[in-house]
Amino acid sequence: MIKYSLVCEKNHDFEGWFGSSDDYDKQSKRGFVECPQCGSKKNSKALMAPGVVGTKKSNDGNQAVANIAPQMPEEVVTKIREIKQHIAKNSENVGDRFPEEARKIHYGESEVRGIYGKASIKEAVELAEEGVKVTPIPDLPEDKN
Ligand SMILES: [Zn+2]
């Protein structure tokens, strides 16, 4: 026997026991299934809500990683691009000599000017510890080309 949740044409919920799904269909067609509240013989099986328990999939780990490192939103990329263009126009590109030049400017050994270039995280931290003002700018996908 299977217990079905049923609903009549007036949306009354009730339950009925049947031998099988076919058994319900046959009994319902013959008018043997009656709503206990209004006596309607027009009814159907209530739709079951999809189960959400026990559906954990093995790829949950991958989704977690994707959530931790989302893609940079387009407006952020655009903003960073603008900042980089502004820096490129107004500063001197010293490339890999950046930590060295930044230090020279900081200690007054070199002309004070805006410079930009490359520094490793370690170098940037060392500069910051010495009191040199360094603004890290994130790499954009196009920079890696
Ligand atoms: Zn009813």
Measured in Å, residue 20 CA sits from the centre of ligand 1 at: 22
* pLDDT number for residue 79: 87
79-84-85-90 Cα dihedral, nearest 10 degrees: 130
Alpha helices in 4-138 (DSSP H): 21-29, 60-68, 74-90, 98-106, 121-129
Counting the structural domains of the chain, the total is: 2
* pLDDT number for residue 50: 52
* pLDDT number for residue 23: 93
Domain hosting 35: range is: 2-45
Query: Would residue 87 count as lying in a domain?
Result: yes
Burial of 87 (0-12, 13-18, 19+ CB in 10 A): middle
Residues 117 and 77 in one domain: yes
User: Ligand 1 being an ion, which residues bring their Cβ within 5 A of it?
Assistant: 8, 10, 12, 35, 37-38, 40
Query: Would residue 66 count as lying in a domain?
Result: no
Distance separating alpha carbons of residues 1 and 29, to the nearest angstrom: 19
Which residue in 99, 93, 94, 109 sits closest to 133, CA to CA? 99
Measured in Å, residue 59 CA sits from the centre of ligand 1 at: 45
Q: What is the pTM of this model?
A: 0.45
All residue ranges of the chain with pLDDT < 70 are 47-70, 141-145
